[in-house]
Amino acid sequence: MQTMLALPQPIAYAPIAAGPEVSVSGALTALYFSDSSYTSAAADDPPIELFRPRLKEPYDFAARLFEQGEPAGRSSVSAGAISIVNADGALDELLGLGWAGRTIELYRGRRSAPFSSFNEVFRGTCDGITWTTRLITIRLRDRQDILAQPLQTALYGGAGGLDAGEDLAGKAKPQCYGQCFNVPPAAIDTARQVYQVHDREIEGILAVRDNGAALAPAGDVAALALADVFAWDPQPGDAGTYITDVSQGVFRLGSAPAGRVTADVLGDAFGGFVSTTADIVRRIVSTQPLVGQINDPAGLDVASFDALNAAQSAVVGFFASAEQQPSIAEVVDRLLAGIGGYWFFTRRDGLRVGRLEAPVAGGRVIEQGRIADTTPISRRLLQRPSRARRVAWAPLWAVQDPDSLADAVAEEDKEFYSTPARLAAASDDGVLTKHRLALDVEVPALFAFQSDAENEAERLLALHSQPRDVYTLGLVDSVFQFEIGDALTLALGRFGLDQGRPFVVLSVEENAARNETLLELWG
């Protein structure tokens, strides 16, 4: 067996007239190495390519589905490093190439087999290189780093109109997805009372308020036969109204506001309105101008997105104002953590999303004969059971002081606009009978509707009101076979597992040199 390395397109640091993504010679470069001499077949891609036998150490990998007692969005990955032998100095010329951020692909297969039969065991990027007189060491980064880029890449230029005034020059344009309540729009033209909630087409604006007092909708520019909101000439009778231009994510008031302007919005509709967690995540990661683009569907584990939509189809929402700069990863974390979900990049299928569920029978069966003698099987409690779950719904993206709201606003509405979110609760005090230290957990979810939050609270309570064990065990002859989140059954002669019990793979730690895998199983 051998591990293969393909390093596509390292770039030169020196400026070259042809552009940055070229090698010193002026052509795109790919580098191929292996742990022993190997040449691909004529029918392979790449064809008849010599993989130089310079890889020094087998590749090690570790990943964990979640760190604490339950998912909070992204998994954690330790991609490690690989070393290339360069004692003879034959590769010194490579040190000047632009390695950082370039794609790294690792494959594993038999020396006698064509490269097309090899399995891809890692795809990520280079975090940089270090070198000595003997070795070039390539530090690896998981593809999660692709999503470390800002959600809001479009900035206002300050030239007026949709480009906003000079006061917003350099500020990020707001982003709105799904159904969002009480968002603080960007005031892109204060003289003409024009506001923006999203930097492209939206589904609609449900309400606009001035200091909490509702304004009356007067139509969209398309229905009013206006070129845009700037073409509107409000008359005295238009006071207390607003018009919209959903194609640009903007609205305009018919008169100057008395105080703070907020809106309820149905967000991004670029390619159709999306409102579920899975669909919003998919829209964001596949339409933002990422360095290292995630293509839809090739860069996604589409089946996982479909499965998550089937499991959780509730309406949610996320808003980022002109004052914020969250990364895409932070936004995806927030969305998925609100439904007990997670995300990570698989070895082969791209970005995968999921939701922690009670383990069910299925998947491969792990029996005593596959367990390594080097690691004793251990069992521990991951998190104390829960006696109550409180799940947020209708979160406000602008929380207002009740004393600042208009006198005409009803008291119950003042309470609504001054409360960050409402909570749906599910509890079982019977859990305390056995578990004196049972938890009361609040989930900062993004549900639009109370019924969906209530359903999620009940689901989470059922999932976490009982103790959940974590088993740790080592397996032989099993590297590069498991993904975090996989379902499997553990059948042992100990711990009451003789009939087999279903688990979810919580963590994977692989040691290719020993051909062993350390698993943590949750269930």
Domains of the chain: 2-57+77-141 (no CATH), 149-338 (no CATH), 364-382+468-522 (2.30.130), 386-464 (no CATH)
**Do 385 and 438 contact (CB within 8 A), yes or no?**
yes
Q: Is the pLDDT reported for residue 246 higher than 60? A: yes
Q: Which residues pair with 253 in a beta bridge?
A: 242
Mean pLDDT value across residues 517-521: 95
Q: Per-residue pLDDT tens for 248-259?
A: 999 999 999 999
Residue pLDDT, tens place only, 73-82: 899 888 788 8
Q: Which long-range contacts (CB under 8 A, 24 or more apart) does 497-501 make?
A: 500/361, 500/365, 501/359
How much is the pLDDT for 508?
A: 95
Quick check: helix, strand or coil at residue 309? helix
Q: Examine the pLDDT at 399 and tell me if it is beyond 90.
A: yes
Cα–Cα separations (whole angstroms), residue 81 to 65, 84, 119, 298, 480: 21, 10, 19, 26, 16
**Model pLDDT for residues 154-179, shown as the tens digit of each residue:** 999 999 999 999 999 999 999 999 99
Taking residues 341-364, what's their average pLDDT?
90
Q: Which of 131, 144, 146, 141 is nearest to 61 (CA)?
A: 141
Sign of CA dihedral 411, 413, 419, 422: positive
User: For residue 171, what is the DSSP state?
Assistant: P
Helix (H) or strand (E) holding 378: strand 378-381
Q: Which of 332, 268, 338, 275 is nearest to 300 (CA)?
A: 332
* Helical spans, DSSP H, in 313-363: 328-337
Sequence letter at residue 105: E
* pLDDT attached to residue 368: 87
What is the mean predicted confidence (pLDDT) over 129-152? 90
pLDDT tens, residue by residue, 259-305: 999 999 999 999 999 999 999 999 999 998 766 678 899 999 999 99
Q: Which of 454, 459, 471 is nearest to 522 (CA)?
A: 471
**Average pLDDT estimate for 221-230:** 97
d(CA 354, CA 199): 29
Beta bridge partners of 491: 367
Q: From CA 66, how far away is CA 45, in angstroms rounded?
A: 36
For the cut 60, the answer to whether the pLDDT of residue 16 exceeds it is no
pLDDT of residue 5: 52
Give residue 411's Cα distance to chain centre: 39
Name the nearest CA neighbour of 123 among 352, 354, 349, 353: 349
Q: Please write the tens of the pLDDT for every residue from 182-218.
A: 999 999 999 999 999 999 999 999 999 999 999 999 9
Q: What would the pLDDT profile of 466-491 be if each residue is shown by its tens digit?
A: 999 899 999 988 888 899 999 999 99
Mean pLDDT of the chain: 89
Predicted confidence at residue 269, as pLDDT, reads: 98
Q: What mean pLDDT do residues 339-352 have?
A: 90
Q: 136, 112 in Cβ contact below 8 A?
A: no
Phi, psi of 94 (to 5 degrees): -80, -15
What pLDDT digit, counting tens, does each position of 57-66 carry?
Answer: 667 789 999 9
As beta bridge partners, residue 189 has 194
**DSSP H helices in 56-176:** none
Is the predicted pLDDT of residue 49 greater than 50, yes or no?
Answer: yes
Beta-sheet pairing, 213-214 with 216-220: unpaired
Percent of the chain's residues with pLDDT above 90:
65
Residue 396 has pLDDT above 80, yes or no: yes
The one-letter amino acid at 151: L
For residue 372, is pLDDT > 90?
A: no
Beta strands in 415-498 (DSSP E): 422-427, 439-447, 469-476, 487-491
